[in-house]
Structures are given as C-alpha cells and as structure tokens.
Amino acid sequence: MVKLVVIAGPTAVGKSDAALKVALALEGEIINADSIQLYRHFDVGSAKPSAEARALVPHHLIDILSPDERFSLWDYNGAAREAIRDVASRGKLPIICGGTGLYIKAVLENLDGGVKGNDDLRTELSKLTNDELHGRLAGLNPEAARKIHPNDTYRLIRGIENSLLPPTGSRNWKSEYDAAYFVLSSAKSAVYERIGARVDKMFESGWVEEVRNLLGRGYSPDCKPFKSVGYWQIMKFLAGETPPEKLADEVKKSSRNYAKRQMTWFHAVKDSIRLEAAEDPAGQIIRIMTTGR
C-alpha cells in the first residue's frame, strides 16, 4: 500500500505551514486539497503557498485550472491519485493538505464524484439562465434543487448532469492507501481570531484589486471560484450591493461559518489523529511518522 499523510482542518488553522515543515523533514511533496487553490489568478483570497514555499517543496494541483474551467469531484479524484502515484514513484512521501474535506474523502475512498461531464450536455446547459437551470433540476430532482441556491450555476449544472447521465464508477471502500490522517484543531474562539487576522491581511495584500483585475480580464461572475467565501462578498461590494465599511465584517462572518462547517466535517472523520494547532503540530506529525507514537 502507498503510504501518505493527510493534513486537514478548518481555514486559517495553520495547515500549509505544518505541511511544509513535515515535507522538509520527511522528504515529502504536497498535494493540494483546497478547491480554490486549483485556479490560476485566485491567489490572495485562497491563501496559496508563497513562491518561496513552493520553491522549497514541490506542490501539486495548484494553479492547474483557468477560472472559467469546470472541475468536478470526479476530476479531482483522478488528478490527485495521479499526483500520489507520481510522488510515490520517486520515493517521496505524498502529503495531502487542505480544507476541502470531500476532496480528501474522494481520494481515500475512491469516490466517483457522480457522473463525468458530457461536453454536448454542458454546451446545451450553458445557454440556459440560472432560473431555467434551477427549474430543470427541480423537475429532475426536487430534493437536490431545494439544496442548491438558484445563483449557483456550477452546482445546478452538476445536479442536472448527475440526474441525466449514467454513473461513471462506484465506490471502493477498501482504500489502497496507508493514510495517516491528521486534523489540526483549536478552540473555536482561537480559530475565529486567526480568521479575523487573516482576512485583514488579505485585504491589505490587495484582495479587492485581485477580484477587480479578474473581472477586468473578462472572466464571468458565474465562474465557480467567484462563488467561494470572500470572493462572493467582494463581488457584491464591487457591484455596489455592500457598503465599504461592512465588507470586511461580511467576509469574516462568512469565513467563520465556513470554518464551523469544516470543523463539523473533520470532527466526524473516523480514525483521524487530532492535533492542537498551537502545540507544534508539524513536530508531532514528524514524531508519529518516524516513531509510530
């Protein structure tokens, strides 16, 4: 079985720093499991690893997509598993790092992620308005339609595809990986404090200008990464729907809610090893991986 390390947890808890230290100590390479870091140009708001960090340790599945490119759970599973094979084939330790829990689950359990997209159907669906997409999904799968916001174009299309196209695979519950799954955690108040500091730093680093430049390059507001936490709030600000004095607070609130959902998800992961983020998690991971305790 291929040995690998997973470093997961809520936003702003320190996953990237821990993964870098572990990779340097254990001759590892990092495989991204953050859904926004996949996209080129979405840099500030996704907290991508710095150029210096990426020069020290190879990072995989970062900046592999154009902002308007569709990418499903099925696609991520395949890309991540290929990256794991590549890293392991060179005698290096694959380290999956990120906060998108479903991506990590897809890899460890080989989930098919629903159907593989069909180009002809996607071309047809892309011509429909969001209201038309939502109405079509409601006719095919009312329960799914109730759970998806009418403005979430990507998930509306995926819902319709999953309702119309044949499945592409099945679950393989016996993983071929020997995975050590580490979850970085901390008190909710500490995570929220870190989120506040990170959001302030992101705005100081030009987050609003990043979004403005992306729109200026012609990317549609319907692109999937624009729907993510922070980017969506900045889009509303640029459209004049959110006053300047409320923008940072709106992003912090949305980020806290996202972190809360992440904490709930990772708390439910069986056989994970929980580490306090403030107590040198990298050192603990290195010790466990080298001594077994």
Q: Where is 170: in which H helix or E strand?
A: none
Question: Does 170 score more than 60 pLDDT?
Answer: no
Q: At what angle do helices 207-216 and 188-204 cross, to 10 degrees?
A: 60
Instruction: In whole angstroms, give the CA distance from residue 286 to residue 99.
Output: 20
* pLDDT one-digit tens code per residue, 61-79: 999 999 999 888 889 999 9
* pLDDT one-digit tens code per residue, 17-75: 999 999 999 999 999 999 999 999 999 999 999 999 999 999 999 999 999 998 888 89
Hey, where are the domains in the chain?
Answer: 2-114+169-291, 119-164
Torsional sign, CA 262, 104, 80, 147: negative
Residue 95: which of 29, 45, 25 has the closest Cα? 29
Torsional sign, CA 202, 205, 210, 211: positive
What is the CATH T-level fold of the domain 2-114+169-291, as seen in this structure?
A: Rossmann fold (3.40.50)
Which residues, including other chains, have CB under 8 Å from residue 120's CB and lie 6 or more apart? Answer: none
Q: Which two tokens stand for residue 124?
A: 């047809």
* pLDDT one-digit tens code per residue, 239-271: 999 999 999 999 999 999 999 999 999 999 999
Residue 33: which of 86, 88, 85, 79 has the closest Cα? 79
Backbone angles phi and psi of 226, in degrees to 5: -70, -15
* pLDDT one-digit tens code per residue, 215-245: 999 999 989 999 999 999 999 999 999 999 9
Per-residue model confidence (pLDDT) at position 165: 74
**Strands across the sheet with 177-185, in order?**
59-60, 28-32, 93-98, 2-8, 177-185, 273-276
Question: Does 113 score more than 60 pLDDT?
Answer: no
Residue 272 has, within 13 A of its CA and on its CB side, a CA count of 23
97 near 32, Cβ under 8 Å?
yes
171 vs 14, higher pLDDT = 14
Tell how far CA 272 is from the center of its chain.
19
46 near 207, Cβ under 8 Å?
no
